Amino acid sequence: MRTAAIALVFALLAAPAIAEPAAAPDQPLSSPTQEARAQRLFQDIRCVVCQHESIADSPAGIAADMRRLVREEIASGATDESIREDLVRRWGDYILFKPPVKAATWLLWFGPLALVLLVGGVFIARSRRQRPDAAPLSPDEERRLNDLLRGGEVRPDPDATSSHD
């Protein structure tokens, strides 16, 4: 009796479930290559009602609708590019997890590479500049350094080149 009551409560309350991960399974496309294309596209498309999920991950109903839409377009022969364009036309750049490359996103796309070149360049320039006249340590500093490096009984490594870091 008690189990039955619990089951009833459960059935009544289960309806407005939040974050429902295993929704009704999608009907995959019959062609495996087309389905693989669809799966790749799903990864790039943002679920519009979710917080930071692609429609591939999202359990939301609208994500399932969008997956169906993408599959239909693929089945009707649309290219990945045209599907993306359609989505952007309807929802804006927001819909794609891969932002378009344009003036407003140059910093986003090329910033990392520019930083590697810039910081790398600074390192190279500084090491070149320092080479001729680096101030040597004062005798006192040299002695302190040696004390510290010898601190804690460092065993002298047999091959001096690969001493411990």
The reply to whether 162 sits near other proteins by the rule CB under 8 A is yes
Question: Which residue in 66, 65, 83 sits closest to 74, CA to CA?
Answer: 83
In whole angstroms, what is the distance from residue 66 CA to residue 42 CA? 9
Q: With CB under 8 A, what is the number of residues at the site for other proteins? A: 74
The reply to whether 163 sits near other proteins by the rule CB under 8 A is yes
The reply to whether 120 sits near other proteins by the rule CB under 8 A is yes
The reply to whether 24 sits near other proteins by the rule CB under 8 A is yes
Q: Which of 62, 75, 104, 125 binds other proteins (CB under 8 A)?
A: 104
Q: Which of 52, 77, 81, 89 binds other proteins (CB under 8 A)?
A: 52
Stretch that binds other proteins, among 60-68, 74-82, 150-158 (CB under 8 A): 150-158
The reply to whether 164 sits near other proteins by the rule CB under 8 A is yes
**At CB < 8 A and 24+ separation, what contacts does 95-99 make?**
95/45, 95/46, 95/48, 96/44, 96/45, 96/46, 97/43, 97/44, 97/45, 97/46, 97/54, 98/44
In whole angstroms, what is the distance from residue 59 CA to residue 29 CA? 19
Which CB, 32 or 77, lies closer to other proteins?
32
